[in-house]
Amino acid sequence: MPAIFPRWTNKIPLALGVVTPLVGAFLIFAVWYWWSPLYTDVGYRPKQPVEYSHALHAGDMGIDCRYCHNTVESAPHAAVPPTQTCMNCHSQVQTESPRLALVRTSFETGEAIPWVRVHMLPDYAFFDHRPHVAAGVGCATCHGRVDNMVVVEQAQPMSMGWCLDCHRNPEPNLRPLDQVTNMDWDDSPEKAAYDFKKDPERKRMPSPPVHCSGCHR
């Protein structure tokens, strides 16, 4: 009696035994990488209603982060500056620039500029800028070299694993309290010699939480 299936079909179980684990491993890698904040969020740079260059204002002009984001030391969120803050300068500088037409309109009407948020955490994650700034975590640690960005983009994944890496070992990300807004600190020779445990300005040593309720409340 002739065989129902050709001889080569005997190799199908072997092929499945080899290919199935490889496909499974690829799918796991694909989900781990392409569905992670490292891929989906890093580099996010939405178009803003007004073209604002941090490279010009924070970089070339050296404006301190806290001039615009003035609640970063006293509130959970770093405030988006109101139009009045912009007009402190632009009532005298670039007063007729067409790029600033929306800023002038906002100032005259009182209607807020609809800025698009760049850094977003899920609602179930609690984050407060105050303890991080007070501990000496620099702006650039989380937000990258904003002073070099013509268009602000997300520089770090801000995932749970990324945050926990810092909470478990915060020392590499700590700096003197008066250097929090210094964008050049990580590249400065002073960083290599800095020991936060001997910093006379510190009232207490940082002890970031690593338990669930530290961020999920």
Give the residue ranges of the annotated binding site for heme c: 54, 57, 65, 68-69, 86
- Dihedral (CA of 116, 119, 125, 127) sign: negative
Q: In the Cβ-directed half-sphere of 93, how many Cα atoms lie within 13 Å? A: 7
List, as residue ranges, the binding site. Answer: 54, 57, 65, 68-69, 86
The set of long-range contacts for 61-67, using a CB threshold of 8 Å and a minimum separation of 24, is 64/181, 65/139, 65/146, 65/181, 66/181
Distance CA 161, CA 147 (A): 26
| Residue 60: both structure tokens together | 């070339």
Find the helix packing angle between 101-109 and 83-90, rounded to 10°.
120
The span from the CA of 108 to the CA of 52, in Å, is 19
Q: Terminal CA-to-CA distance of the chain, rounded, Å?
A: 72
Q: Give the contacts of 80 (CB within 8 A, at least 6 positions apart).
A: 69, 115
Across-strand partners of 16?
A: none
